[in-house]
Structures are given as C-alpha cells and as structure tokens.
Amino acid sequence: MAARVLHRTPEDFMSKELCSAFRGSGVGASIGTAFGLATLSTIGFANMSLFEGVLLLSCSIFGGVLFGSLIGVTGAFRREAAGTEKARKAVA
C-alpha cells in the first residue's frame, strides 16, 4: 500500500481531460512565449516601455495557455493506455 502511494501517476487522482489540459497548457505557454518574444523583437524596444513589453509578453503567454488547454481537452495531447486500446479493439 505504501509503495502505491509513493508511485502515483497523475491519472490516479485526475481525469484524463484534466491531464490533457495541463499538457496542452504547457505546450501553449511555450508557443505563446515564442510568439511574444518574436513580436517584441519585431516591434523593437525603442518604441515601448518595459511595462508595455511585459504586458505584451504576458498576454501572449496567457493566450497560448488558453488555446493549449482547449486543444488539450479535445484530445490532441491525450495519451491512451495500451491496455485500454487493446480492450477497445477486442470489443469492436
């Protein structure tokens, strides 16, 4: 029993949709960061203050997280268990 408690996977206490949303949020955050940095490098820092640059970067990260979690919940980043897939093929 103690070994099972120490070796818990995220699927043990979260639904598959929530795990997929977290994975998608991580991917979306990285894409949003890259997009925000590319936008800042295109605009340049001469025309904006530090607050505007940080605001633009944080908004792009937030948008990436929202988009990534939406895509993740729909199943794009979902991992199916091998046993579940074999059971579905056997039933079908």
pLDDT tens-place string over residues 39-88? 999 988 788 888 999 999 999 999 999 999 888 888 766 666 555 555 55
Domain limits at 38? 14-91
Task: Tell me whether residue 60 is in a domain.
Answer: yes
As a whole number of angstroms, the distance between CA 33 and CA 8 comes to 31
Task: Tell me whether residue 24 is in a domain.
Answer: yes
Task: Tell me whether residue 37 is in a domain.
Answer: yes
Write out the E strands in the chain.
none
Task: Tell me whether residue 7 is in a domain.
Answer: no
Tens digit of pLDDT for each residue in 15-49? Answer: 777 888 888 899 999 999 999 999 999 988 788 88
* DSSP assigned state of 45: S
Classified as helix, coil or strand, 35 is helix
Task: Tell me whether residue 21 is in a domain.
Answer: yes
At residue 17, the pLDDT reads 79
Q: How many domains does the chain have?
A: 1
pLDDT bin (cut points 50, 70, 90) of residue 12 is: low
As a whole number of angstroms, the distance between CA 29 and CA 39 comes to 15
At residue 66, the pLDDT reads 93
At residue 91, the pLDDT reads 60
